[in-house]
A and B are shown apart, each in its own frame.
Chain A
Amino acid sequence: MIKIQNLHKKFGSLHVLKGIDEEIHQGEVVVIIGPSGSGKSTFLRCINRMEEPTQGQIWVEGVNITDPKTNINKIRQKVGMVFQHFNLFPHMNVLQNITLAPIKVKQLSKEEAEEKAYQLLDKVGLRDKALEYPNKLSGGQKQRIAIARALAMEPEIMLFDEPTSALDPEMVKEVLEVMKELAQEGMTMMVVTHEMGFAREVGDRLFFMDDGKVIEQGDPKDIFINPKEERTKLFFSKVL
């Protein structure tokens, strides 16, 4: 579903990603953990070209997205993204936030888009907030709306960039619940996270990243119990 080949990313002289080769399969939930500065977010952001890879290739459903001729907007419709800071549009209410892209990009009628939006709001448990503006919502509610907004484009892959890192502790769970449900429905997901419980419980595969590389990967349950690499052990000894 996603194939990454020899991915490098440099910011000026800073070499952030130093060669990543991975394949992510349909329906898989890949959790990416690692110390800060290890390139987790940059890696994720290359997959929908929020960052331009410096070198290497990425295929999403057989389309080479690093090819300059590829229409990246078409790809992004299939690859939803959820951000650490939610990034809801503050000048639009919840319903408008969710329906804007389906109406303008996918050319859905307003009625179709709103019907779909209400279904998604039910799914994230926030139907009653449809006409509120984002500044009236809690962090957890904002993030659930952001997930609904991404899902409204009916993506085949969802990228989560530290979706609970900006949340107060008591709101983390409500967001993780939504993500878990999504995983159970068979959504292909890549999740950069610091939530070890979530990684262990929901992840099908875990990437441990350090210094711009995936240095260890496998079934999260195994890695948590029996990490092979020294750096992985060191990391777990600090966070668990």
Chain B
Amino acid sequence: MDRWGERMTISEIFLGKQRYMYLVKGLRFSLGVTALSAVIGLFIGVIVSLFRISQFQPFSFITNPRLKKLSTFNPLAFIAKIYVTIIRGTPALVQLLLMYYVVFGSVAAPKIIIAGIAFGINSGAYIAEIIRAGIEGLDKGQTEAARSLGMPYGMTMYYIIIPQAVKKILPALVSEFIILLKETSIVGWIGASDLMRGADNIRAQTFRAFEPLIAVALIYLLLTSVFTYFMGIVERKMKLSD
């Protein structure tokens, strides 16, 4: 027979009825969603940032100076900008619920997939801006030097710009992934059983809020600290080659 409320010990809260399994399963789900959305976000981020810095001007054949706006119009950059504006300008929770109730409203799909796509699209906008800033922050002379040697645009990006940009943006990318991990704690809204929801389940069964929430906070803290630590090693290794 469970005691509950004030008189419960920590071991009763977590071990009783194997309640810790809520956290274990939740953790697995949270990490899964984070990994999936990080991959999707990185993919989208790279593409969208390339769109934004591209020099694609399909109407450049129009030479009429009064239509200068049109002749220098870059549809790729325009689409990318709209995407970034919408995603960054609306709450992730709204995006998640739209994905679940509207986009996947009549399609049955695992919640981890739906959440992964929603957070991936969300994170992609931030990652795109991080990458764009990294590339645009590089000295223009680097591009000029490569181009003056006869290297085409793509080759210049691949051998000269991207390797330098990666080093520059890594710290910002690390913090984006940390934010992403924490952001996934709202997937409970679509009924997914993540770490946060795990704590909530324990609270509901034991009427104890403090212990489960602190446990979840510590798990998030531990994860982000370990991740930061390893990325710090990677960053230092990259600096050595400078």
- Residues in chain A within 8 A of chain B (CB atoms): 48, 50, 73-77, 79-81, 83, 85, 87-91, 100-101, 104-105, 133, 135, 146, 149-150, 153
Within 8 A of A (CB), among B129-154: 139, 141-142, 144-152
Please state if B242 and A83 are interface contacts (CB–CB under 8 Å): no
Please state if A50 and B144 are interface contacts (CB–CB under 8 Å): yes
Is B164 in contact with chain A by the CB < 8 A criterion? yes
Q: In the complex, which residue of chain A has the Cβ closest to the Cβ of B166?
A: A91
Rounded to whole Å, the gap between the CB of A4 and the closest CB of chain B is: 18
Please state if A91 and B242 are interface contacts (CB–CB under 8 Å): yes
Please state if A87 and B147 are interface contacts (CB–CB under 8 Å): no
> How many angstroms between the C-alpha atoms of A133 and B241 in the bound complex?
8
Which residues from chain B contact A50 at a C-beta distance below 8 Å? Answer: 144, 147-148
State the main secondary structure of chain A at its contact with B: mixed
Of the candidate stretches B2-10, B23-31, B41-49, B155-163, the one touching chain A is B155-163
Number of interface residues of B (CB under 8 A): 20
Q: In the complex where A87-B144, A87-B145, A89-B160 touch, is A133 in contact with B242 (Cβ < 8 A)?
A: yes
Please state if B148 and A48 are interface contacts (CB–CB under 8 Å): yes
Please state if B155 and A87 are interface contacts (CB–CB under 8 Å): no
- Most chain B beta-carbon neighbours within 10 Å: one of A81, A87, A100, A146: A87
Please state if A153 and B149 are interface contacts (CB–CB under 8 Å): yes
State which of A91, A105, A135 has its C-beta within 8 Å of the C-beta of B151. Answer: A105
Q: In the complex where A50-B147, A90-B164, A91-B242 touch, is A73 in contact with B139 (Cβ < 8 A)?
A: no
Within 8 A of A (CB), among B220-242: 241-242
Q: In the complex where A91-B167, A133-B242 touch, is A73 in contact with B151 (Cβ < 8 A)?
A: yes
Q: In the complex where A73-B151, A76-B149 touch, is A87 in contact with B141 (Cβ < 8 A)?
A: yes
Q: In the complex where A90-B164, A100-B159 touch, is A76 in contact with B242 (Cβ < 8 A)?
A: no
Which residues from chain B contact A91 at a C-beta distance below 8 Å? Answer: 163-164, 167, 241-242
Which residues from chain B contact A88 at a C-beta distance below 8 Å? Answer: 145
Rounded to whole Å, the gap between the CB of B145 and the closest CB of chain A is: 4
Please state if B141 and A83 are interface contacts (CB–CB under 8 Å): yes
Rounded to whole Å, the gap between the CB of A78 and the closest CB of chain B is: 8
Rounded to whole Å, the gap between the CB of A212 and the closest CB of chain B is: 20
Which residues from chain B contact A150 at a C-beta distance below 8 Å? Answer: 148-149
Which residues from chain A contact B155 at a C-beta distance below 8 Å? Answer: 104-105
Please state if B241 and A105 are interface contacts (CB–CB under 8 Å): no
State which of A74, A90, A101, A133 has its C-beta within 8 Å of the C-beta of B149. Answer: A101
Please state if B141 and A76 are interface contacts (CB–CB under 8 Å): no
